[in-house]
Amino acid sequence: MPVSPEKQSTLSTVEILSQGMVINVGPQHPSTHGVLRLILTLDGEQILHCEPVIGYLHRGLEKMMERRPYRHNIPFTDRLDYLAALSNNLGICQCIERLGGVEVPERAKYIRVLLMELQRIASHLVFLGTFGTDLGATTMFLYAFRERELVLDLLEECTGARLTYNWIRVGGVPDDLPDGFAEKVLAFVKVFRQRLKEYDQLLTRNRIFRSRTQNIGVLPKDLALAYGTSGPVLRASGVAYDIRKVDPYEVYDRVEFDVPVFDRGDVWARYLVRMEEMHQSLRIIEQVLRDMPDGPVQTKLPKIFKPPAGIAYSRVESPRGELSFMMVSDGSPNPVRVHIRAPSFVNLSVLPCLLEGAKVADLVAILGSIDVVLGEIDR
């Protein structure tokens, strides 16, 4: 039965949308970097509407944390953003330290910053590798993971694990750096500077790569701010906002580094921000190793740690953005409430806006450039 002209103008959004073709991407799809499902409504090549579905990895982490003593919760944060486990460890430890008024020794602060920047490099290298494969540059994947292996070897030597480090404790770090660690890190910095140049030759110079990323998935500044995005996604849209500068923690106020900002807001800018951040991380590492004082690395705490009643909030700049923890204490050994602000979760929320009107072929580029980790989104 033909629809009358009056009826046609009153079709609801759902009815109009249902005219497009609906396809599912994920939850098991190599380009979604985890178990993310996207319901796409397509009109030919164009994406009309995108609806991300999350929750496949939900473990009820916040509730689990409320049922355990404070320090038992640190290993669980490894499983949030599994590509940057140390950042999560630092986030929760800082929060507990604020809650209990625990002082951290100087040397421990420097060690923390050193590990944090190594972790940032490792995480950005995963981004680089997977982003390269998503766009068809498989070589990049192999090279990036080869260098990531060097970072992981360093972290393994220091912490004893390769992915779930669990090496930050309330009141410091559990142990000093192993012997000769500084030299090894400096040797890595030297090698990695040169490798970064190679990446530039391989990808940044690459005509095809540039065509596939420039002016794709543009996120305007006001939209980025309105959605509350953070990290490289926000800085690629022209906002110089980095927790390490705005609200310095540990010793970030004592080291010199630049915050890379680009105005374009497209996939290309997000890629460039991360590349530049790796350069800056190397700078921080060198300064930290130069200035690191001697001394103890951990404050002694009572066996049963009971912070006074109160509420604490702390934030760190994880490789993906602003990661913050909030904890409420009532003076008992367990927290009453824990809340985690996961940067990937907030950054993912702009995805439907970015994908509206984009081509299907650009989907993986846009999703890859946001660099989400599903462990953190679903927690």
Using CB under 8 A, list all residues that contact another protein: 68, 71-76, 78, 139, 143, 146, 149, 156-161, 164, 166, 174-175, 178, 198, 201-202, 205-208
The rounded distance, in Å, linking the Cα atoms of 331 and 327 is 12
Smaller CB distance to another protein: residue 333 or 352? 333
The rounded distance, in Å, linking the Cα atoms of 142 and 154 is 19
CB of 138 to another protein, least distance (A): 12
DSSP string, 126-179: HHHHHHHHHTT-HHHHHHHHHHHHHHHHHHHHHHS-SS-----BTTB-SSPPPT
CB of 169 to another protein, least distance (A): 8
CB of 148 to another protein, least distance (A): 11
Smaller CB distance to another protein: residue 103 or 198? 198
The rounded distance, in Å, linking the Cα atoms of 210 and 225 is 26
Q: Is 305 exposed, middle or buried (0-12, 13-18, 19+ CB in 10 A)?
A: middle
Q: Which residues pair with 313 in a beta bridge?
A: 326
CB of 201 to another protein, least distance (A): 4
- Residue of 66, 85, 83, 67 lying closest to 75 (CA atoms): 85
Three-state SS string over 238-293 comes to CCCCCHHHHCCCCCCCCCCCCCCCCCCCCHHHHHHHHHHHHHHHHHHHHHHHHHCC
Smaller CB distance to another protein: residue 2 or 180? 180
Smaller CB distance to another protein: residue 149 or 286? 149
CB of 181 to another protein, least distance (A): 11
CB of 231 to another protein, least distance (A): 27
Smaller CB distance to another protein: residue 7 or 207? 207
Smaller CB distance to another protein: residue 76 or 249? 76
Smaller CB distance to another protein: residue 152 or 255? 152
CB of 78 to another protein, least distance (A): 8
CB of 296 to another protein, least distance (A): 15
- Residue of 181, 147, 148, 166 lying closest to 289 (CA atoms): 181
- Residue of 55, 83, 118, 45 lying closest to 348 (CA atoms): 55
Establish whether the linkage from the previous residue to 27 is cis, with ω within 30° of 0: yes
Smaller CB distance to another protein: residue 78 or 134? 78
CA quadruple 126, 371, 134, 195: dihedral positive or negative? negative
